[in-house]
A = this chain, B = another copy of it.
Amino acid sequence: MDKTLSTEISMSEKKKYKVFVSGAISTQFIADSIAKHSTKTTIGAHDIFLGQVRSDVIENKTVKAIDYSAYEEMAEEKFHEIREAAFTKFELTCMHLYHSMGIVKTGEICLFVFVSAKHRTAAFEACRWITEEIKANVPVFGKEIFEDETYAWKVNTK
């Protein structure tokens, strides 16, 4: 009984794709993710969106980093819903989503949306749709930290 139960739990946990990563997303990680797709030879098109932290100037103060936090349980559910919906809406071969938690400095990558398809139209449409969904519906919060160590809470624009 115990064994069956633990197997079930581990399978259901496996289904939930881990999206949040600690700190910035490295370009090496991105390269490795792309390289892994060279064996998937039905893929003809990848579209990748990367969010990078800007050194915005707000009331004369320059952003030096964003400290991300989230309602993680809800966010993971939302990411899962977005994944499932995207696979239904678009003809995709695969999809990978990563979002930073914690401190990401200006110039570093905080969001990595990676969509692969046989043809480019599906890849383009899905990547954009997914990114907009993430921005609109995933409960992630960002504290913009200025060079003088003060901060302000970020609100998304387009």
Contact = CB atoms under 8 A, between A and B. Distances in A.
Interface of A: 27-28, 30-32, 34-35, 37-55, 106-109, 116, 118-121, 123-124, 127-128, 131, 157-158
14 contacts: A27-B32, A27-B35, A30-B30, A37-B52, A38-B52, A40-B107, A42-B54, A43-B107, A45-B49, A45-B50, A45-B51, A46-B48, A121-B158, A124-B131
In the complex this chain forms, how many copies of it are found? 2
Nearest to A131: B120
Nearest to A47: B49
B55 A41 contact: yes
Contact of A119 (B35, B106, B157): B157
B41 A119 contact: no
Given A38-B108, A107-B38, A158-B121, A46 B49 contact: yes
